[in-house]
Amino acid sequence: MKILLIEDDASLRSFMRVLLNAQGYETIEASNGRQGITLSLSYAFDIIILDLGLPDIDGLEVLSQIRPFVQCSIIIVSARDKENDKITALDSGADDYLTKPFSAQELLARLRVGLRHRPIQKQEVETRIQIKDLCVDFEKHSCMVSDQEIHLTPIEFQVLGILMLHHGKVMTHHNLVKQVWGEGSLDSDIQTLRVTMANLRRKIELNPAQPKYILTEIGIGYRFIEN
Ligand code: CA
């Protein structure tokens, strides 16, 4: 597994290098955006970790230049107060994000998800997906929680299905709305999504205030919790 680290902070880069090498991942490093673009396009990486705040060009610009040409997952690294940049990055084709400062465990968890969601593996059509005690069958259009059938509306079923298919990965409001209501979806659909999510949680979660399945990424979207 080969990972590209595009990060100008030398100490953070070395933290990631040591951690990833110890896990058996090979790492290549870029300390600025231009170097990152060149390396991204020169080698086949399994994951690219991209810092948004780079000294020469903005990480979002790096993303837009490399996304059309690289197949692998791109994980954004960004400061906590840059929520809008994260959303823009996710909607521009980044696969996930890490908020600085992050722990070794968080980084490794995101990598596992990123590696699983490589496009090659996405080809297989899943008709049934079970995570923990929640099972969705796309052919039968059914949802079971602990072997109990749960009745969902078509929209609730669709939202749950999308989140489960991308389990572990954050899905932005915009991305979800686009997949459910189509390209011409409106901002008002985001409000409908919130209502749908509240209803869905009431149906599948034992305690909707402490969700076991669907996590809210505040200001960004939702993530189906893996474990
Ligand atoms: Ca930086």
pLDDT in tens, 77-106: 998 777 889 999 999 999 999 999 999 999
pLDDT at 121: 46
Separation of 12 CA from ligand 1 center, angstroms? 9
The hierarchical CATH code for the domain 2-123 is 3.40.50.2300
Per-residue pLDDT at 208: 86
How much is the pLDDT for 125? 65
How far does residue 32's CA lie from ligand 1's centre (Å)?
9
Domain 128-224 in the same topology as domain 2-123 = no
List the chain domain ranges.
2-123, 128-224
Q: How far apart are the CA of 124 and the centre of ligand 1, in A? A: 37
Q: What confidence score (pLDDT) does residue 53 get?
A: 93
68 CA distance to ligand 1 middle (Å): 23
Q: How far is the CA of 16 from the centre of ligand 1 (A)?
A: 14
Buried b (16+ CB within 10 A) or exposed e, 34-71: ebbbebbeeeebbbbbbbbebeeeebbebbebbeeebe
CA of 67 to the centre of ligand 1 (A): 20
Q: Which long-range contacts (CB under 8 A, 24 or more apart) does 24-31 make?
A: 25/1, 25/111, 26/1, 26/2, 27/2, 27/3, 28/2, 28/3, 28/4, 29/4, 29/5, 30/4, 30/5, 30/6, 31/7
Q: Count how many Cα atoms sit within 13 Å of the Cα of residue 44 in the half-sphere of its side chain.
A: 3
Cα 55 to averaged position of ligand 1 atoms, centre (Å): 7
Instruction: Give residue 215 CA to ligand 1 midpoint distance, Å.
Output: 27
Pick the CATH number of 128-224 from 3.40.50.170, 1.10.10.10, 3.20.20.140, 3.20.20.150: 1.10.10.10
Ligand 1 is an ion; residues with CB less than 5 A from it: 8, 51, 53
Q: How far is the CA of 50 from the centre of ligand 1 (A)?
A: 9
Each residue's pLDDT expressed in tens, for the chain with a length of 227 residues: 999 999 999 999 999 999 999 999 999 999 999 999 999 988 999 999 999 999 999 999 999 999 988 989 999 999 877 788 999 999 999 999 999 999 999 999 999 999 887 654 444 567 899 999 999 998 899 999 999 999 999 999 999 999 999 999 999 999 999 888 887 877 788 899 999 999 999 999 999 889 999 999 988 999 999 87
